Structure 1
Amino acid sequence: MHIFSSGDPELWRTPETGPALVLVTLLPTGECEVTIHPGADVEDVTAALAVVPAGAVFVEHFNDVEAVLLFRRNPAGPPAPEIVPWVPVSPLVPTAAGVSRP
């Protein structure tokens, strides 16, 4: 039996009840721990990583079965947003006008 979810509610997940399969802990030092328990699926991990502060960088991991990922604030600050240059499109020239036909 696979531990990865394929949408089948009968698949095994550990633990079925109790604490969450993925826990996010914000530490007083500004670091963030993400603990992933066996049975967590992609949706569980994705939802937890959305809570990690923007600009945090992955530093290291701990454990073997229950993976603990450690994130820290990037000392250089969060990455700058990518600036895509805006190129105006002339409404007078149809897009297909530049295409030559054989």
Structure 2
Amino acid sequence: MPIFPSDTPDPRPTPGADLPLIVASIVRPGVYALTVRPGADARDLGEAMSRLPVDAFLTEHFGDIDLTMVFRAVPGGPNSEPTGGTTPTAPAAASGTRP
């Protein structure tokens, strides 16, 4: 059984939804979260991940429909600044800051 459906997919990633497909959040300095909703494609994810510091590493993940990945930057590391800004600029992406 192939992993991709054989029928033509709906061209709208999440039909009828106005919510962003990827939400990038700064949880606190040095801790970043990416929440990925169904319908996000590799380009969306790549764009969002390119905004993380290059030394950030995955520390945990959770979710079964919406996936949230938590990354931490190496404290005081040479590359602790984001590589391309803190928020993706793609229309499918958004940012938010957790309290």
Query: TM-score band (shorter)?
Result: 0.5 to 0.7
Match of 1:36 in 2: 36
The runs of at least 4 consecutive aligned structure 1 residues that moved more than 6 Å come to none
Q: Cα distance, 1:27 vs. partner?
A: 1.5
Q: Deviations over 1:1-42 (max 9, x none)?
A: x69xxxx89524125542320111011242000000000001
Q: Amino acid of the residue matched to residue 59 of structure 2?
A: V
2:31–2:72: 8 Å Cα contact kept in structure 1? Answer: yes
Larger radius of gyration between Structure 1 and Structure 2: 1
Higher relative contact order (CA 8 A, sep 6+): 2
1:55–1:74: 8 Å Cα contact kept in structure 2? Answer: yes
Identity of aligned residues (%): 31
RMSD: 2.6
Matches of 2:67 and 2:78, distance apart in 1: 25
Matches of 2:15 and 2:77, distance apart in 1: 37
| Number of residue pairs aligned between Structure 1 and Structure 2 | 74
1:1-102 aligned within 5 A: 10-14=10-14, 16-75=16-75, 77=77
Gaps of 5+ in 2: 80-99
1:37–1:65: 8 Å Cα contact kept in structure 2? Answer: yes
Matches of 1:15 and 1:32, distance apart in 2: 28
Matches of 2:16 and 2:9, distance apart in 1: 11
Matches of 2:78 and 2:17, distance apart in 1: 37
